[in-house]
Each structure stands twice: as structure tokens, then as C-alpha cells.
């Protein structure tokens, strides 16, 4: 198997840890919450073997990458600037950008804000959504009113941290299982009383064929060291992004694009892949993975790798 190598690069004023494999055209892969470069462990060697330079960072606030203290340091403006800075650090003019979960908006918006640097884009789990008519958190508070919704729960600094940092292994195990195709996805993420906590009502995890004990150990060891504040701070910038970057959800993605999601992904239940079509006129394909939940590239690595490589070869 192709060796995965690690190093630290300077980008946008921070030091970023990257995992990489292979040589050839650059493919930059951005993870989501609560994940790490490790979420791409199956894609790095597969893309390398297919003739690409595959790079997966710990994004800002995670793992062995710097985690600035200021909440505003996790705005979409900063996250997309980080992505471009990785290209600069690697001496590359362009790349294909791939993102999952929060990494998907980072990928879509990198393609929008830096169209000359990202020649194609792949999003997983989270579509490129039209701009909301009001700041998104305001809209969510109206929609969920007196009910729990995980994004609203994440807003007040310190509240979610107190729960999630208290037992990192339990948090990671329940969260990864709960949003997977092995569970009934979405249970516990919404629809509880407003004063509930995140793990309240989440189902007891059962064994998952796609997540070994060693995999879970890696995630747990990193988050026990760093805590979850860096990842949570991304959620705390949603209204700031709406104000600062009005072209998000308005500007079209003209580059070739692809979207991949699990058919049981709870995110798809309250977003729409079809809404992307007018915004991404060069969408090559929409891939739905039967039985898969939210952790797309981890739950269905072979199918995701095949779709990615086919897409890259067509560029």
C-alpha cells in the first residue's frame, strides 16, 4: 500500500498538519466535524495509486493544526483562505478540492471565491445551498422554536464543550454511530426538548464494519488532546459568513463538480441535492450510496474511491 506521509505547512498565518500520498495533479480533501485528516485514510492511497497527489489536512482547529482562540478565526473567509494557502505552500497553481460535511461548504466556497485556483470540486453529504433569506441561525431558531437542534446547541461557547469533552470516547462513539447508516440517522440531533443535551436519546452504538477499534482510538486520542472547541467554532460563524460573504449561495460554481451522499444521511433529510442544479451548471453526476449514512467516504470507501477516480479522469 502507498505510504501516507505527514508534514506541517504554513498557510494563511497558521501551521497546518497535512497527510499526503502520491505524485501528480493535486487533490485537496477537507474533512468535517468531528473528524480529522484520518477520515480520508481510504482515499489517500487509492488516489495516489491512480496517479494523483492526494492531500488531507487537519483543518483549522483540529488535530495537529493550529487552533486560534478567536471565534471569528473560523469564518468561511479564513477556512477558504487556508485551502488556497495549502496550494501555495505546495507550489501548486491549481487543484481539485473535495470536501465532506463542513469540508463540503469549504470546498464549494473555495471554488466560488477562488475559481482560478480550483479547477473542479466534489462535495459529500452537504450540498451547495442557495443563500437563505435571513441569517441562517436566525432562520433555524424560528424553525425549531422550543425544540432542540444540534447547531443551535453548539452556539453558546462552553455549553457543548462541557458535554463533549467530559467523555470523548462516548461522544465519538455515539456521534459516529448515530449519524451512520448502521443507526436510524438523525435520532438525537433534533426534536428533543430545547434544554436537552446532544447525546440525550442517541441510540447505544452497535459494532460498525467500517469503524474499527483502532480507528475510534485514533479519533479519541486526538480529541482528548485538543477538545472540540475548534470544530464547534465553525458552527458559530454561520451568521458571520452570511454577512461577510454574500456571494455564497448566489454565485454559480462553473467548474466541473460532483456530489456524493449516503441515501440514509440525515443531512439530506433537511437539505436538497436538487437545489444545487441551477447553482452548479457543470454538475457531472449526483451519486447516492444505498444504505450509507453521513460518514460517506468512511462507510463506503470503495464506491467513493471509484466515483472520485472516474470523475478525476474525465477532467
- The question of whether 53 is a catalytic residue gets the answer no
| Backbone φ/ψ region at 255: left (φ over 0), alpha (ψ -120 to 50), beta | beta
Contact 49/2 with Cβ under 8 angstroms?
yes
- Phi, psi for 88 (deg, rounded to 5): -60, -45
How far apart (Å, rounded) are the C-alpha atoms in residues 267 and 151?
A: 12
- 101 a catalytic residue: yes
Cα distances (Å, whole numbers) of residue 122 to 4, 29, 74, 280, 289: 22, 9, 22, 11, 15
Grid cell listed for 122:
466534489
CA gap 152, 174 in Å, rounded? 19
Tell me whether residue 204 is exposed, middle or buried, using C-beta atoms within 10 angstroms of its C-beta: 0 to 12, 13 to 18, 19 or more: exposed
Spatial distance between the Cα atoms of 302 and 294, rounded to a whole number of angstroms? 16
* Cis peptide upstream of residue 34 (ω within 30 degrees of 0): yes
Q: Which of 101, 182, 241, 265 is catalytic?
A: 101
Q: Exposure pattern of 86-113 as b/e (b: 16+ CB <10 Å)?
A: bbebbeeeebbbbbbbbbbbbbbbbbbb
Active site residues: 101, 294
Amino acid at each position: 500500500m502507498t505510504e501516507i506521509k505527514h508534514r506541517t505547512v504554513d498557510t494563511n498565518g497558521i501551521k497546518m498538519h497535512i497527510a499526503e500520498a502520491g505524485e501528480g495533479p493535486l487533490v485537496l480533501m477537507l474533512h468535517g466535524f468531528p473528524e480529522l485528516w484520518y477520515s480520508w485514510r481510504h482515499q489517500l492511497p487509492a488516489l495516489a495509486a491512480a496517479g494523483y497527489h492526494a492531500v488531507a489536512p487537519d483543518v483549522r482547529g483540529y488535530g495537529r493544526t493550529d487552533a486560534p482562540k478567536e471565534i471569528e478565526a473560523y469564518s468561511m473567509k479564513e477556512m477558504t483562505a487556508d485551502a488556497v494557502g495549502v496550494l501555495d505552500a505546495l507550489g501548486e497553481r491549481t487543484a481539485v478540492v473535495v470536501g465532506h460535511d463542513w469540508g463540503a461548504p469549504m470546498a464549494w466556497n473555495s471554488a466560488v471565491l477562488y475559481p482560478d485556483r480550483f479547477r473542479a470540486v466534489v462535495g459529500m453529504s452537504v450540498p451547495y445551498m442557495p443563500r437563505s433569506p435571513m441569517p441562517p441561525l436566525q432562520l433555524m431558531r424560528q424553525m425549531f422554536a422550543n425544540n432542540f437542534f444540534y447547531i443551535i446547541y453548539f452556539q453558546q461557547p462552553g455549553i457543548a464543550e462541557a458535554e463533549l469533552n467530559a467523555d470523548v470516547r462516548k461522544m465519538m462513539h455515539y456521534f459516529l454511530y448515530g449519524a451512520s447508516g448502521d443507526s436510524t440517522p438523525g435520532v438525537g440531533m433534533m426534536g428533543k426538548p430545547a434544554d436537552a443535551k446532544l447525546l440525550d436519546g442517541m441510540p447505544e452504538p452497535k459494532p460498525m464494519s467500517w469503524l474499527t477499534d483502532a480507528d475510534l482510538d485514533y479519533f479519541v486520542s486526538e480529541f482528548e488532546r485538543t477538545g472540540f472547541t475548534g470544530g464547534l467554532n465553525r458552527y458559530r460563524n454561520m451568521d458571520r459568513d452570511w454577512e461577510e460573504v454574500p456571494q455564497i449561495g448566489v454565485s454559480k460554481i462553473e467548474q466541473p463538480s460532483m456530489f456524493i451522499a449516503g441515501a440514509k444521511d440525515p443531512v439530506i433529510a433537511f437539505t436538497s441535492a436538487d437545489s444545487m442544479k441551477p447553482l452548479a451548471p457543470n454538475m457531472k453526476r449526483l451519486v447516492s450510496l444505498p444504505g450509507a449514512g453521513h460518514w460517506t467516504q468512511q462507510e463506503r470507501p470503495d464506491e467513493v474511491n471509484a466515483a472520485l477516480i472516474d470523475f478525476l479522469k474525465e477532467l
